[in-house]
Structure 1
Amino acid sequence: MTTSAATPVHSGRVYRYYDLVMVAFVTVLLCSNLIGAAKAAQVTLPWIGAVTFGAGVLFFPISYIFGDVLTEVYGYGRDRRVVWAGFAALGFASFMSLVVLKMPVAPFMSDYQKSLEDVFGNTWRIAFGSLVAFCCGSFTNSYVLAKMKLWSNGRWLWTRTIGSTLAGELVDSSLFYVIAFYGIWPLEKVIQVAIAQYILKTGWEVVMTPVTYKVVNFLKRAEREDWYDRNTNFTPFRLRV
């Protein structure tokens, strides 16, 4: 496995599974944001009572697992490209939803229009909140994991996958619910749902740690890569690796 920090070697490599991981990441991101972002679900738990949370929490954390895998195996620079790809895809999906829903509807579909608006008619605040929270949270997650890998000299993978998710999801959940719902939902509900979202998302990371280990170990062997971001430029505002 390579552990060199020389950028030319890293940027010149061709990987077998990198593109597939990117596609999976973007797919999970789009589905979780378009389908589950605006719905608040509620379940009743023993000893706790009713817990309200965003429905997308069941699937969105998978994107953070992909982010952990990308940074751990391919490095921050490669993950940064995937984050920007996801940002562009999410931005286009929001724009397309807005345009399609604003187009004049055929008379025979007038009743169906409301159903489309209920599913895809995210307000501009929800769309904007998703974009900002995703971008800031994902870059925080990747940065923390890359730095923790250097500090630990590559040991204790579980500490950096969980630690980076604790940081990234804190940024994501805080930004999204404040931007999207402050002033629309009661403040106590915004805080309650944001806290529940954070706990559930980070809990997912803990539960999925054995799976993350298996995927990371498989990709490191298959790609012959184990990247350390020793000389990496950590600015998020570039596409070059």
Structure 2
Amino acid sequence: MFKDIIEDYKVLLRSVPASTVTVFVVSVILMNLLANKELVSFPYLALDCGFTLSWIAFLCQDMICKRFGPKASVKMSILALGCNLAVSLLFWLVSLAPGMWGAYYDTGLTEVNSALNATIGGSWYVVLGSSAAMLCSSFVNSHVNQFIGHLTDDGSFAKFALRSYVSTGIGQFVDNLVFALIVSYNFFGWTPVQVITCSITGALAELACEILLSPVGFRVASGWEREGVGEAYVQKHASELEARA
């Protein structure tokens, strides 16, 4: 069973273009790091700087889902999550090192060094919340995307946009909601109203960012189909993909 999973991952990683995998993984790592900084904070809207990259991860998921199916998209999300956890562990180990950050020599303040260690090292509940949120949202986003594509997809940009915008909106809401319930509600003192309203408004803001570059995502995913990119994985899962087509 485990051997089959590993072999399937090998085929998938050889099939999805390396540039897409790289952008996906890097966006996941950076959005969790940037989430440490607040962008805006109002009673009914709260966004961290991770918002500037989270939509890229969802666009990559939609592209992968269109060509390789929802299971492939979820598998790539798990891979990205694993990479993020590995980087988080590395950051935590680095934060324990006795040396000083460069910013300390600019200011001479040990508090700056301590603050940078705390930021880079991260908090266990933030890592837990972001990991759970990504797992839930990637599953929802990929399967909603494929379900809508099963009903309406005719290969046009309009249908790609429909399945991508709806799945991303729902997926981003789930991502924000799970993170807010685990982290913001329990550790930051958010009220249930703030959890719901900020999850909705945050999802809408992130969706607006994806809309801007969705034509690029459509052209890339359509090019994969036209040029037969990843044919090995597609053929291996042909019966599964045809059942959903």
Compute the TM-score of the two structures, normalised by the length of structure 2.
Answer: 0.75
Letter aligned with residue 161 of structure 1: S
Q: 1:77 to 1:229 in 2, by over 3 A?
A: farther
Question: Matched residue of 1:38: which SS?
Answer: coil
Letter aligned with residue 130 of structure 1: S
| Equivalence for 1:26 | 25
Q: Paired residues, what number?
A: 217
2:57 to 24, 41, 63: 63
2:222 matches 1:222: no
CA offsets per residue over residues 115-150 of structure 1, 9 Å max, x none?
Answer: 422531321111111101011101111111122222
The answer to whether the 8 Å contact 1:21/1:66 transfers is: yes
1:101 to 95, 98, 102: 95
| Equivalence for 2:140 | 140
| Equivalence for 1:123 | 123
Offset, 1:219: 2.2
Q: 1:206 to 1:115 in 2, by over 3 A?
A: same
Identity %: 19
2:36 matches 1:38: yes
Q: How does 1:45-84 map to 2 (within 5 A)?
A: 52-84=46-78
Question: Matched residue of 1:42: which SS?
Answer: strand
| Equivalence for 1:178 | 181
Q: 1:150 to 1:229 in 2, by over 3 A?
A: farther
Q: 1:230 to 1:208 in 2, by over 3 A?
A: farther
Question: Matched residue of 2:240: which SS?
Answer: coil
| Equivalence for 1:194 | 199
Asked which structure has the greater RCO (Cα within 8 Å, sep 6+), the reply is 1
Supply the RMSD in Å over aligned alpha carbons. Answer: 3.2
Q: 1:33 to 1:12 in 2, by over 3 A?
A: closer
Q: 1:177 to 1:38 in 2, by over 3 A?
A: farther
The answer to whether the 8 Å contact 2:44/2:198 transfers is: no
| Equivalence for 1:236 | none
The answer to whether the 8 Å contact 1:42/1:50 transfers is: no
Q: 1:51 to 1:12 in 2, by over 3 A?
A: closer
2:169 matches 1:163: no
| Equivalence for 1:235 | none
Compute the TM-score of the two structures, normalised by the length of structure 1.
Answer: 0.76
Any unmatched runs of 5+ in structure 1?
1-7, 233-241
The answer to whether the 8 Å contact 1:177/1:190 transfers is: yes
Q: Distance in 2 between matches of 1:22 and 1:158?
A: 21
Q: Which range is displaced more, 216-225 or 103-112?
A: 103-112
Offset, 1:70: 0.5
